[in-house]
Amino acid sequence: MADSALYCEHCGEDIHIVPDFEPELEQNIQQIISGIMEELEEPLKEEAAGGEPEEELIPEPEPMPIKRWKWLLPTILAVLILGAALGMGVWVYLHNSWEYQVNRAEQYAASGDYDKAISHYKRALELDVNNIELQFSLAEVYFLKNNKIEYEYLLREIARNENATMEQLDRAYGRLIAIYRAREDYNTINQLILGSENEQVISTYQNYIANPPEFSVIEGYYTSIQPLKLTAMGSGKIYFTMDGSDPDENSTQYTMPIILEKGEYVVKAVFVNDNGIYSEIVRKEYFIDNDDIPAPEISIVSGEYYVPVYIQVLDLDEDEEVYYTIDGTVPTYSSNRYTEPIPMPLGSSRFMFAKIVDGVTGDVAERNYVLVLNTENTPEQAVQSIREYVLSTGRILDETGHFDDSGAMYIYEYLYVANINEVCDCFVIAEVQRESDGTQVRTGNFYAVNVYDGTRYRLQRDERDRFILSALDGE
């Protein structure tokens, strides 16, 4: 029979082409269909009989026609493919649903299945990479799982995120600091805060910062004395060295300007805050080339004197400053500054005078004096004499010096002995008002008592700032 023939050349009937028959496949299909039919018919029989169905012999189904088998298999395959496609579609939808991933993550976290919660949170972050709150949620799951490394890593990521709000930054930094505080790792806290570019964060956690000290003088060559000041932001202490070694808490603590006088200097300084955090060490070099500061010239030489004498500093320029002490110590800025002639004290005294330029104390002029007066009167008697006088006038109401009911009082204080306008040698006494809280201030009233005869005077200054003696009433 030719391939293109449509009719049988012997009988003239139509030619029917039948596919190859596979008996095993046909048998398997028949068995599957028979099983399905049995499962469907059993409930129907039970319902019709009102009880247990009787066993019946189901006749063997007749072989399915070949034409019917031809469309059944593709239908089954189509259903399977459609089911798989629908399942895949649902999976794809859920896999790309941010809400679904977050909900599942929260459910697993609540049930303690942290690994699955982490997996879903990570997928949610893939769908929304800029969601900082999701990062916090994922970090919390790592914390619950006791994975401190990932927990710390995520918090640092949030701290570095330029899109984070101040509230989110505060949460991230606060939790990180809590981690490092528990470890007593304050240096890491210092590095963390200093690494932030957010001024508000730096200000909030300033107590954990140890910024390097700042030097008031730029390193280099100078031809004059340099007072070097060290400062640092925050609460703590500055330590420094000048021998080339690195400073620590056992080094010299900075409390006042470092005077660079003459020569080469290497100054190293470090700031240690109240939490014990060390800053970076700052190192500066200086070379100072300057002339020495001469001692001031004093008018009165050392010796014993028998009349009141004023001590003066001679040939002092307007821009020069001289300081002095009377206890034998070297003068500093905190000592008495010379502004006018100084009355020599009664008894023995040891004066030290020195010029101070830019914080540097020059050579010291030392003077030793003894002042002895030919009188039996004493400063204490002079003070009592003035107190009796003001009590008699009603200025004070009792010996203690009270003048009203407020508790305040006038007290009388011996200052020095001096020759007043070549009129008399006098004990000079000042009136001081002492408040009930102990504060004191001079009233501006001064008195003088003659060293030899006890005459009392009111001591005032004229328009040229010279002392004037006015005898008190009746004297």
**Cα dist. 270→70, 230, 243, 359, 461 in Å?**
92, 10, 14, 23, 54
Helix (H) and strand (E) counts in the chain: 10, 23
Running DSSP on this structure, what letter comes out for residue 3?
A: T
Q: Which residues pair with 371 in a beta bridge?
A: 305, 347
pLDDT for residue 40 = 46
Residue listed under structure tokens 């068995």: 31
Contact 416, 347 (CB under 8 A): no
Nearest to 124 by CA among 112, 144, 111, 107: 107
pLDDT for residue 365 = 94
pLDDT for residue 43 = 52
Nearest to 241 by CA among 211, 267, 219: 267
Contact 54, 41 (CB under 8 A): no
pLDDT for residue 41 = 54
pLDDT for residue 22 = 45
Residue listed under structure tokens 């040698």: 425
Sheet holding 282-288, edge to edge: 220-222, 282-288, 263-273, 236-241, 252-253
Tokens (6 digits) for 341: 């002639």
pLDDT for residue 195 = 84
Running DSSP on this structure, what letter comes out for residue 304?
A: E
Tens of each residue's pLDDT in the chain, 475 residues: 555 555 566 565 555 554 444 454 455 555 555 555 555 455 545 555 555 545 555 556 555 555 555 566 677 777 677 777 766 766 666 677 878 888 988 898 899 998 988 988 888 888 888 888 888 898 898 999 889 899 889 999 888 888 888 898 888 988 988 888 888 888 888 888 888 888 888 888 877 888 899 999 999 998 877 889 999 987 899 999 999 999 999 999 999 999 888 889 999 999 998 888 889 999 999 998 877 788 999 999 999 999 999 999 998 888 889 999 998 888 988 999 999 999 999 999 999 999 988 777 888 999 999 999 999 999 999 999 999 999 999 999 999 999 998 999 999 999 999 998 888 899 999 999 999 999 999 999 999 999 999 999 999 888 777 888 888 866 6
pLDDT for residue 339 = 93
pLDDT for residue 91 = 67
Between CA 344 and CA 298 the distance in angstroms is: 13
pLDDT for residue 25 = 43
pLDDT for residue 59 = 59
DSSP three-state, residue 248: coil
pLDDT for residue 21 = 44
DSSP three-state, residue 57: coil
Running DSSP on this structure, what letter comes out for residue 231?
A: E
**Contacting residues for 310 by C-beta, under 8 A, at least 6 apart:** 299, 300, 341, 342, 343, 344, 418
